[in-house]
Amino acid sequence: MRLFVGLGNPGTKYAHNRHNIGFMAVDEIARRHGFAPWRRRFHGETSEATLDGERVVLLRPTTFMNESGRAVQDAANFFKLGESEITVFQDELELPPGKVRVKVGGGIAGHNGLRSISAHIGNEYRRVRLGIGHPGVKELVHSHVLSDFAKSDRPWVEALCEAVADNAGLLVARRDSTFQNKVHLAMQAKGFFEQEDKA
């Protein structure tokens, strides 16, 4: 069994924020793979389905970002899951828009959602880091992540969420580098990253 956690802030005010791309990704996984209707529990909302032969529970915490760990801990305890069975989808300032990296453990780089999760369950869970770009100066980070994606961003945001959802079974199978490559190739095929930077 796997727990896929999308990070974001609840409510329509935040729905299109850069900080909410984790919610957007798990929403698209639910849509693409015919997950059950969302239901409220564990300080959040969950949806379940079988993906590539494995039971997967999607979780969107309805606490605010800095309390995300409460929801993750409740769900992990209920399903008796260890850190290695938990995957968190998060916005990542340190990656260019539309890039994806998967890693287990490591630093939290000031991300309040990750800080809360690590405080509640430990640090050795998998993170799917979804690049949103950096505003350039530290003072602008807060407003950057809590602002909506620009209209011009929407094509790559939608393409990224679709590519993540289409290849989510590779995360279930722990084929992280294959997942990264497939998402990258899908983005290239749709006309993003034409100026390949080898990053």
Cα(190)–Cα(186) distance, integer angstroms: 6
Concerning whether 19 is annotated as a catalytic residue, the answer is yes
How many Å apart are CA 125 and CA 47, to the nearest integer?
Answer: 20
Q: Are 55 and 35 in contact (CB under 8 A)?
A: no
- Residues 16, 19, 120, 142: which is the catalytic one? 19
Separation of alpha carbons 35 and 108, rounded Å: 30
At 30, list the tokens.
């639910």
Residues marked as catalytic? 19
